[in-house]
């Protein structure tokens, strides 16, 4: 298995532009998580899905952030419009059981908003 695949690895965009981050979970996993990692706040859970349905989006910072999971093999995290304070590394993780030992993280997308 190729693991959790995220794209792009790096994204540089101008303030106000729309940004879309992509994630392909491990085949067969039924949970998908989006995390954000920053110097100030560490690793924050933004949203997670179970069987493609959003379960808890209380970590999404504001309405500029949205996430979708149209099918079991693909999820997107969109920021529109982007702001410099959104600069961070965004990780996607998937799990079969919803428990920590089953979490497999992708390599992350480093987002820089200038």
Q: Which residues bind other proteins (CB under 8 A)?
A: 4, 9, 31, 33, 35, 37-39, 42-43, 45, 48, 55-56, 88-89, 91, 93, 98-101, 103-110
Of the two residues 16 and 103, which places its CB atom closer to other proteins in the complex? 103
For the bound state, the minimum distance from the C-beta of residue 46 to other proteins, rounded and expressed in Å, comes to 11
Reduced to 3 states, what is the DSSP secondary structure of residue 84?
helix
For 30, residues 6+ apart whose C-beta sits below 8 A from its C-beta are 50, 51, 72, 95, 96, 98
Query: What is each CA distance from 24 to 17, 82, 103, 105, 114, in whole angstroms?
Result: 23, 23, 14, 11, 27
For the bound state, the minimum distance from the C-beta of residue 95 to other proteins, rounded and expressed in Å, comes to 8
Of the two residues 32 and 79, which places its CB atom closer to other proteins in the complex? 32
């Amino acid at each position: 298995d190729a693991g959790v695949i995220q794209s792009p690895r790096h994204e540089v965009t101008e303030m106000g532009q729309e940004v879309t981050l992509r994630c392909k979970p491990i085949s067969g996993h039924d949970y998908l998580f989006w995390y954000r990692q920053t110097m100030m706040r560490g690793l924050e859970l933004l949203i997670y899905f179970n069987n493609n349905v959003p379960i808890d989006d209380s970590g999404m910072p504001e309405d500029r952030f949205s996430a979708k999971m149209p099918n079991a093999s693909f999820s997107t995290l969109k920021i529109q419009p982007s702001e410099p304070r959104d600069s961070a590394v965004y990780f996607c993780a998937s799990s079969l059981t919803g428990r920590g030992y089953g979490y497999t993280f992708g390599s992350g997308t480093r987002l820089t908003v200038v």
